[in-house]
Structure 1
Amino acid sequence: MPAILPSPAASLKVWARVGFASLGFVYLVLGVLATMAALGLRSSDAPSQQEAFQAIQHMPLGQVLLWLTAGGLLGYVAWRFAQALLDTENQGSAVKGLAVRGFYVFSGLLHAALAFYTAKIAWHGHLPPSDNTSQSTLRSVLHHDYGQVLLALVGLIVLGAGVVQLYRAWSGKFDTDVQVSPFTHAQRLLVHRMGQVGYSARGVVLLIMGYFCFRAAQHANINEIRDTEGCFKALQAMSPEALGAVALGLVVYGLYMFIQARFPILRRV
């Protein structure tokens, strides 16, 4: 009897769930490292994205975990593109709907870059010291005739994403992403609170990133752009409590993504 291959829709569901779990794993590790920094349990300052992947690499079977994480992130990318191209969220073709679907594409591209970054560390065993692809790309964008406008637009998109995350957190819109019917009332309330805390923390990080990106465009200075490490340092400069609150929020967001991976609502696939 010939083997029965899974349908494209079934494969997409599996990829999406693996993607949610992989993204949750990355946020969990990053949040734990940032929490340790807030508590003064790290010898170095706020953790960078590279340190998070190095921490994964130092776990048992770390190299395998890195490859699995890279592959899983590609699953999240596939789901983001499906949301945009297949309109799984029923956004439609009006201006607002196209804007939301465009954001799904933007998010997919960012996570594709993150998957590539993860795979590069897994391949080399570390990130090559000469690797400055993102910096070079941003510099080339800024040197374009309309570079400042393009960079400002990216900053506004990231700022908008942060606002959307905060809106989702406190409007309860994220509740439509997790199947809570198997849960008790207390469990549903706990998952809801986890979503609120996690999306809020993610929103704060995106707001900081967007702000610095917009400032970099305004001053035509690429060095003003901040990655996750720069965001953590900005929070740390406010107070250890500010960094700790956001760091714990990212830990919670990572756990929430694990729940979404286990009990997802995947519409129209």
Structure 2
Amino acid sequence: MADTGREAKRAAGKAVDKTEEAADSKTFEWVARTGYAASGLLHVLIGAIALRLAFGGGGEADQSGAASSLAQNPGGLFLLWAGMLGAAALALWQVSDAVFGGRNLEQKKKWGYRAKAVGLAIVYGAIAVTFGSFALGSGSNSSEKSQDASTKLMQWPGGAVVLFLIGAVIIGAGIYYVIKGLFRNFFADLKPLPAGGVRTAVTWVGIVGFVGKGLALFVLGLLLAVAAVQNDPQDVKGLDGALKALREQPLGPAALAVVAVGLICYGLYLGARARYAKM
């Protein structure tokens, strides 16, 4: 009986070692890096649509709108499949980081490190699903899905409180992005950059990008919190609705243009991260 238990432990240990070895392979790392590029492409497209909205045009400035516009262009189907594979690989990379990473950290920091990795795995997994659904021709409007989800949530006891807390978390994330950009803390995610033009370019797209992304998240979180307080799920329309709501405010088109440029810059930063990220 004891021998059987030892054999099971050795087999489990070998499985863990094989899994960790696969996660550390250069091929897997290369594919995972393309996930940053895929996310960057989405942000550039969202920013371009938002910029069009700022000047009176139309479109959906969110992930589904960006993926839809990509699907309508020559070569778009290839990019959708490539984006799906890259984002899925990066999500798996984050899962492996949650399991194997942060071993030398203190216990409290270790759990924070792993929670962050899990959160990023969910984010990149959602991006992979967006790319995949449009590659298969079954993509849908994310604003409508956000509204439907919020309606169902608020039908539950305490649903409005949960929605408010989600909004508060997104507001906090927005503030975090702004601070990370202004204080250039994004360099901690990158390997040492070559001196000169590359470092200068990454510095500026990082600052402007993180601030723009943070402002977009702040507006989105604020709208969610207001919808929860007013008990009106009709006000929940996702990122596209948040940006369009920003456009309707005093000096809104100018503010939206600033956020749009920021989102484009954040996408460019992610493109650089695909090359220089610490993995």
Q: TM-score, normalised by structure 2?
A: 0.80
Q: Determine which of 153, 163, 170 is the counterpart of 2:165.
A: 153
**How much has 1:46 moved relative to structure 2?**
5.8
Given that 1:46 and 1:233 are in contact with CA atoms closer than 8 Å, whether structure 2 keeps it comes out as no
1:230: which partner in 2? 241
1:109: which partner in 2? 122
Given that 2:146 and 2:236 are in contact with CA atoms closer than 8 Å, whether structure 1 keeps it comes out as no
Question: Quick one: which amino acid aligns to residue 81 of structure 1?
Answer: V
- 1:1-269 equivalences in 2 (<5 Å): 7-10=22-25, 11-40=27-56, 42=57, 44=58, 47-88=61-102, 92-94=106-108, 98-99=111-112, 101-124=114-137, 127=139, 133-181=145-193, 183-238=194-249, 239-266=252-279
Given that 1:208 and 1:231 are in contact with CA atoms closer than 8 Å, whether structure 2 keeps it comes out as yes
Which 4+ residue blocks in structure 1 deviate beyond 4 angstroms? 88-92, 131-134
Distance 1:133 1:154 in 2: 16
**How much has 1:156 moved relative to structure 2?**
1.7
Question: Quick one: which amino acid aligns to residue 220 of structure 2?
Answer: M
Question: Quick one: which amino acid aligns to residue 79 of structure 1?
Answer: W
Structure 1 residues 99 and 225, CA gap change in structure 2 (3 angstroms): farther
Distance 1:128 1:246 in 2: 24
Superposed CA offset, 1:104-127 (max 9, x none): 423432442332233222212x53
1:3: which partner in 2? none
Distance 1:55 1:134 in 2: 20
Q: Unaligned stretches of 5+ in structure 2?
A: 1-20
Structure 1 residues 91 and 54, CA gap change in structure 2 (3 angstroms): farther
Q: What is the CA RMSD across the aligned residues, in angstroms? A: 2.8
Identical aligned pairs, as a percentage?
A: 25
Structure 1 residues 135 and 86, CA gap change in structure 2 (3 angstroms): farther
Superposed CA offset, 1:206-252 (max 9, x none): 11111111122222222222312112212222322111111111111
Given that 2:35 and 2:124 are in contact with CA atoms closer than 8 Å, whether structure 1 keeps it comes out as no
Distance 1:18 1:50 in 2: 19
Given that 2:174 and 2:215 are in contact with CA atoms closer than 8 Å, whether structure 1 keeps it comes out as yes
Structure 1 residues 261 and 90, CA gap change in structure 2 (3 angstroms): farther
Given that 1:91 and 1:101 are in contact with CA atoms closer than 8 Å, whether structure 2 keeps it comes out as no
Distance 1:91 1:20 in 2: 25
Distance 2:273 2:215 in 1: 21
Given that 2:102 and 2:110 are in contact with CA atoms closer than 8 Å, whether structure 1 keeps it comes out as no
Larger radius of gyration: 2
Distance 1:108 1:165 in 2: 18
**How much has 1:89 moved relative to structure 2?**
9.5
Q: Unaligned stretches of 5+ in structure 1?
A: 1-5
| Structure 1 range deviating more: 196-205 or 183-192 | 183-192
Aligned length: 257
Q: TM-score, normalised by structure 1?
A: 0.83
Give the structure with the higher percent helix: 2
Q: Secondary structure at the match of 1:169?
A: helix
**How much has 1:198 moved relative to structure 2?**
0.5
